[in-house]
A and B are shown apart, each in its own frame.
Chain A
Amino acid sequence: MPIKILSVDDSRTIRLIVGRSLRPYDCVLWEAANGEEGLAVAVREKPDLILLDVTMPVMDGVTMLARLKEDPALKAIPVVMLTAESGRDNVITIARLGVCDYLIKPFKEEQLIDKVGRAVQLQKKEAAAPVAAPAPVVCF
């Protein structure tokens, strides 16, 4: 059963890097460009993990996280925050909101995989599977 991961970031570049990093692993990736879209996908797909940017238009990551935690059906989904802001207060604020972990931008792809692997059981695709086949990406 592939792991279901939702990447919420207004930067297509970051979503692309997330998809590229996860390509060798047995997972299905959904994408959303802001918190509002991300919440809709989360409700619909019940992902196993959410990778969530902080600063986004329409609805930021902190607001989306708060909404997730208010919803009994979604509050247990582990969330890893991706943020360009590494300040002490920001990290403390994020931690208090109940995230599973956080990753400071800039990051290396192996750091992302390490964080994801701590939150969910990532498994490499079987050797027999075509290596070039990308993980399915479903854009909201």
Chain B
Amino acid sequence: MKGTLLIVVLLLAGCAERDAQIAVQTALTVSAEGVATAAEALNEETPGLVKTATVAAEDACPDPCSLGDFATHLDEKLLPLSNAVKGLKLAKSSLLIAQGAQDTWVASGELPDTAPLCKGIAEAVTPIPQLLTDAGVKNIPEQVSRLAGPAVNIGCDMIARWSKGGTP
């Protein structure tokens, strides 16, 4: 009888940990989908944004405009776009690293030290809507806008509470 009771308690405790793992996985996947959607939105508008930057670079370039001068001016005008691409790459790599930590937690039951990782993800994912706005993207999907909201931190909060022995 005691054995059955113990198993029931262990299963219920396991359920609580699995709930936390499911919440973290959901937060990671939603963030990844937001980043992927942001990349698609940016990709769609990139040809138009480069054309605008080209016109601006030609206007800013002294006449006659050498190729070197033009390239310098063009790169300057394309800087917000390049920053958005860099931001997306950083967010992608942060999320992939976090997925590795999550896989370890699910497979072994041992929660890796994720506090620095969570900070990295939040720092990488949160600025994306602003980076897209700065790049001149007009149609930012709602899914991307949500990346800057508190939803990004839900997974990290869940991990922090769980790792401190609290009930998530």
Chain B binds chain A: no
| B interface residues with partner A (beta carbon < 8 Å) | none
Which A residues are closer than 8 A to B by beta carbons? none
